[in-house]
Chain A
Amino acid sequence: MKFGRRAFLQFAAGAVGGTLLSPLPWKLVDDASIWSQNWSWRPSPERGPVTRKASVCTLCDGGCGIQVRLVNKNRAISVEGNPRHPVNEGGICPLGAAGAQFLYAPYRISQPMKQSKKRGDATGFKPISWDEAVGELQKKLSNLRKAETPHTVAAITGHAHNSMQDLWQQFFTAYGSQNLFTMPSHRDSLQGAGLLALGREAPFAFDLEHASFILSFGADLVEGWGSPGRMQTLFGKWNASEAEGAAVKLVQVASRCSMTAAKADRWIPVRPGSEAALALGMAHVMVKEKLYDASFMQDHVFGFEDWTDTRGKPRQGFKSFLMAAENSLEAASQQTGLEAPRIVDLAREFAAQNHAVAVWGGSGGNLPENTYHDLVFFALNVLKGNLKPGGMLSLAATVPLGELPQIRGDETARKGLAQKSADQIGDEKPSLTGRNLYAFLSLVAQAPPYPIEILMIHEANPAYGLAGKQTFEKAVERVGWMVSFSSYMDETALLADIILPNHAALERLDDVIGLPGSPLAYYAVAAPVLPPRLNTRHTGDVLLQLARSMGGSVGEALPWKSHEEFLQERVKGLAAAEGGAVFEESPSDWGKVKVGSTPHRNYTDGAGLWKKLSAGHCWYDAPRDPLQEIRSASGKIELAFQTLDSKGWAVEKDELYLPRFALQAPSGDPKEYPLLLLPYRMSSLSYGYHPNPPFMTKTVWDFVLKGKESFVELHPGTAQSMGLKEGDRIILKTPGGEATVRVHLFPGARPEAVYMPLGLGRKGYDAYIGGKGANVNSLLDVQGDPLSGQGIAWSARAQLKRLG
């Protein structure tokens, strides 16, 4: 039989019928639709149990408790605030919340690298082994000791509030060099102020937990001043609704309507840089109207009345200085641009409040301020009697950690230490405290007193973060060999000859000493949350390895087998010391810790304390009575700084001994540069060592950053007078440099100023970070502080030119 067309159709009809009664078509349609919903290239998150590991954040010095959410205990998916931690009570800042993005950043350095081409050539880095890298550094360091020139080794560390700083110090002293520097911070000038006023090189601390009236002189309290976690938590409490409790009044003095100003109960707009003039004007009113704490001034203050210096010369005291013409109400009014009655009202309001405190620190405590101004704000608090027990101001309490071993120091070390640090050479005035990084860099760049053979950089990014154009780059050109310990391929690591990458923050054991701005003694251990992901090594371990292999007195001074053992030894010392406890109460009890309270000790030995600390708890102790902490020559709070005499200053004018308004005008001809450029901070822009993670960049306004261009803020009136509109492209020129930016009209901008955000304009990293906007640091003007000599970079003169 022939299988004809007809038969085929009959067969096909049967087949169709059969198929329809089988699952085939329905299953195919169903599966095809599922298939169409599968996006194989879309990542599928690994599943597994979710756990939390508590630790302490080390992305800044704020000491916040965190807990990291882990999947399968090996992937960090997010960082949360630790609700049991008293500093942040479960809250977290955007940088901390995005912290895991640093762990998994594409720009992490995966292993030791050596530059094989010209410095700064990103393509020149060739991987080398840890043995080679550490061996090469050790050989170079040993050779310099053999040549009896250990002082030609320098280091810059970004850590000033943890034990790594002490480890560096120990290493440098044993090795024989004074050239150890930290990145500039407000602590630098505050320590100088503490030394002059109280004889103590310690920063001031503020009992904001118990204040009822906070007068902030340009302190960006909510943008991240002091410990950002503490300040945000406090701000929430200050603004508690009536049902929740009494409200605290915040008054912000600033030239720009910053977030703090906008959020304050009152914003007092003043001329840029004139905050200290207002404080002096208020002091003038308080003295004139006898609104100050007279008995406190009499009992505890030296130099309020006229005084006699050590050579027997009579000197003017602060009281009569305040009555001088230069400190008249009119002068303050002129300097600040405020009407005199407003200054009088503010002074009366401040004086009338029971728990009023003046705080300051315009750059969020991240840059040194003019030391005289630090002392003016301090003096205003003294007039208020704020250093009395239960007062609002004290010195940050010290943490009695275990002492480091005595350094025997061999002949080579003694020779090296006999050489002054490079920043101290050629300076007529002896420095008050610490080292001066700007002076060091500019001397190295211009006329180095001796060559710097090795420069080591640890957790710092001076190539990006220091003010002034190419301050760091120029110095590096004269440096023999540069070592970076950075975990990131940042601007500074790029200039290095060799990179020995550190672990990322969440992979690393570290500690936090002190809570910036808080009077309580505070210590925390940041336990690693995850094992290191890459072939990195803790810089502390590298330092210990170097010391061990160098042996001799250097090895003896750093006897610990590992950085972990070093920290455990320190904690053992803390456990052995008097006082203090691990905070295990409800976070709301933190505010009850006051001068004189004795925390209930809840550990018996170092191991027990270590265990609690590495589980995310913190150690604390009650604040000290500031009057008991005074170590000045007079035994009193000194408002006339006779310490200057003992430091070898030959002071002529009386006023130079006193807290005074000493604004340093930035360089440049005001006619050529009619505007004042001021940097500002946003909590959604990270401007320090850590670059802005993509999560945070996503939240940046499109009038701050658009594509690759950043904006400067200009008052609408100023813009109009210059014929500029929103979004116009301009060249912003300062004596230090220039940048192409766009204009954003901002009614909160002072008409004579132009404001630029910190944290933009990074180079390198990856496409999510590099090349976005302009770096304001490179445009700023660096000046030496009249007292401390520290570099201050608060502004620059600027001109704007329209493009196209």
Chain B
Amino acid sequence: MSEQGHKQGAVRFGMVIDLDKCTGCMACSVACQAENNISFREDESNKLRSISWMEVFYLDNDQDYANYQYTYLPRPCMHCDAPHHAPCTFVCPVNATTRDEENGIVGHIYPRCIGCRYCIVACPYHARDFNWWDPAWPEPMEAMLNPEVSPRMRGVVEKCTFCHHRLLKARAKAFLEEQDLYEVTYMPACGEACPTKAISFGNLNDAESQVAKLAKDPRAFRLLSKLNTEPKVYYLSKHEWVRKQGDKHFQNSNGNKRG
């Protein structure tokens, strides 16, 4: 038992996104879609119905012309580390979403999900999306589906898994090569794609890891930290106006736009 009251393994996978390096190119989001078989529809402009595991938010400093500044903020699932439960795992009536205490990753089992969407309501980060329609790929594009991730079906919720399947694959390799399983690290598709290397990923519990070091950077902040959800995704920004908005609810269309 840790101080936080729940059993914790030695590994807590976490991510640090450096917003000073992020150029909003959206490569992370595209790579995520390709990796995780995320379905798309002819019209994706209704963002409340659009499925996006690596969603990107738009923040600005509310100033006028010459002083105007904005930044894009990529938002994967925060894989909240709050004691006992993440907000979503707490409300799931069927145990379809749970946190693996050996690595801190919050997973979601699609066939078990009954589509009640409690978890969507509970998540303060809009990290969860519901399959309102059957996923359908235009005819030849089914060939692009990644066999390492299972396609979802209508009526279930889905979200970012920190590319958990990559961890499983890395662990299988480590098993065979007789490496220390606690040393196994990997990179999710978003971080691999990021052309400015703004996304770091690794074990937050390993003091020597880059993420652990960056998480202690004076520029570091987390989203809605006052809710005590203990997100395992950290952001870096040199701008105070960005850091301040990390603790603001996404409420109006002016200061915070949902993309």
A residues contacting B by CB (< 8 A) are 37, 39, 41-48, 50, 69, 71, 75-81, 88-94, 96-98, 100-101, 104-106, 108, 222-223, 228-229, 232-233, 235-236, 239, 241, 243, 257, 259, 262-263, 267, 269, 533, 683-684, 694-703, 705-708, 715-717, 726, 747-751, 766-768
Contacts and interface: CB of A to CB of B under 8 A. Distances in A.
B63 A747 contact: yes
Contacts of B259: 699, 701-702
10 contacts: A42-B153, A43-B137, A75-B144, A80-B192, A97-B31, A98-B30, A239-B18, A263-B71, A269-B65, A750-B65
Interface stretch (B46-54, B173-181, B224-232): B46-54
Nearest to A685: B26
Nearest to B58: A701
A45 B45 contact: no
A268 B36 CA distance: 41
Given A104-B143, A241-B236, A768 B40 contact: yes
Given A89-B197, A106-B138, A768-B138, 18 more contacts: A39-B153, A44-B151, A45-B37, A46-B145, A50-B148, A78-B34, A88-B195, A94-B26, A100-B34, A100-B144, A233-B195, A235-B21, A236-B21, A236-B198, A262-B70, A684-B26, A695-B34, A748-B68
A98 to B, nearest CB: 5
A269 B66 contact: yes
B146 A77 contact: yes
B9 interface: no
B29 A236 contact: no
B141 interface: yes
B40 A93 contact: no
Contact of B195 (A93, A267, A699): A93
B193 A81 contact: yes
A699 B30 contact: yes
B172 to A, nearest CB: 13
A684 B25 contact: yes
Nearest to B46: A702
B23 interface: yes
B101 interface: no
Given A235-B21, A236-B198, A747-B60, A697 B31 contact: no
A42 B151 contact: yes
A223 B230 CA distance: 34
Contact of A698 (B44, B145, B154, B217): B44
Given A37-B111, A104-B144, A750-B65, A698 B52 contact: yes
B206 interface: no
Interface residues on B, range: 35 or more
Contacts of B257: 701, 703
A699 B63 contact: no
A236 B195 contact: yes
A768 B42 contact: yes
A93 B214 CA distance: 24
A236 B30 contact: no
Report which residue of B134, B139, B152, B259 has the largest number of chain A beta carbons within 10 angstroms of its beta carbon.
B259
B196 A698 contact: no
B40 to A, nearest CB: 5
B194 to A, nearest CB: 6
Nearest to B141: A104
Contacts, number: 210
Interface in B103-148: 111, 134-135, 137-148
A705 B193 contact: no
B196 A705 contact: no
A695 B24 contact: no
A40 to B, nearest CB: 10
Report which residue of A228, A236, A708 has the largest number of chain B beta carbons within 10 angstroms of its beta carbon.
A236
B108 to A, nearest CB: 15
Interface in B210-250: 213-214, 217, 219, 236
A98 B32 CA distance: 10
Report which residue of A41, A43, A97 has the largest number of chain B beta carbons within 10 angstroms of its beta carbon.
A97
A93 B28 CA distance: 9
Contacts of A232: 23, 25, 195-196
Interface string B6-24: 0000000000001011011
A43 B195 contact: no
B31 A257 contact: no
B170 interface: no
A749 B60 CA distance: 14
A71 B197 contact: no
Contact of A683 (B24, B58, B66, B137): B24
Contacts of B197: 89, 91, 233, 236
B2 to A, nearest CB: 28
B27 A94 contact: yes
Contacts of B144: 75-78, 100-101, 104
B196 A236 contact: yes
B23 A97 contact: no
B29 to A, nearest CB: 5
A705 B217 contact: no
A42 B65 contact: no
A712 to B, nearest CB: 16
Contacts of B46: 702
A221 B26 CA distance: 15
A239 B140 contact: no
B43 to A, nearest CB: 6
Contacts of B47: 702
Contact of A748 (B42, B65, B196): B65
Contacts of A747: 60, 63-65, 68
Contact of A257 (B21, B43, B70, B145): B70
Contacts of B194: 91
Nearest to B143: A75
B192 A104 contact: no
A222 B25 contact: yes
A94 B148 CA distance: 21
Given A106-B138, A695-B34, A222 B26 contact: no
Contacts of A236: 21, 195-198
B86 interface: no
B70 A235 contact: no
Given A81-B193, A97-B193, A715-B65, A696 B26 contact: yes
Contacts of B195: 81, 88, 91-93, 228-229, 232-233, 236
A71 B46 CA distance: 33
A97 B45 CA distance: 21
A728 to B, nearest CB: 15
A88 to B, nearest CB: 6
B30 to A, nearest CB: 4
Contacts of A39: 134, 153-154
A78 B147 contact: no
Contacts of B217: 241
Given A78-B146, A697-B44, A702-B46, A91 B193 contact: yes
A747 B65 CA distance: 5
Contacts of B214: 241
Contacts of A715: 65
B70 A93 contact: no
Nearest to B40: A694
B69 interface: yes
Contacts of A233: 195-197
Given A93-B27, A100-B144, A695-B30, A766 B236 contact: no
A699 B23 contact: no
B68 A257 contact: yes
Contacts of A228: 195
Contacts of A768: 40, 42, 138
A244 to B, nearest CB: 10
A94 B37 CA distance: 16
A50 B172 CA distance: 15
B56 interface: yes
A707 B45 CA distance: 6
B33 interface: yes
A758 B81 CA distance: 42
A45 B193 contact: no
A42 B153 CA distance: 7
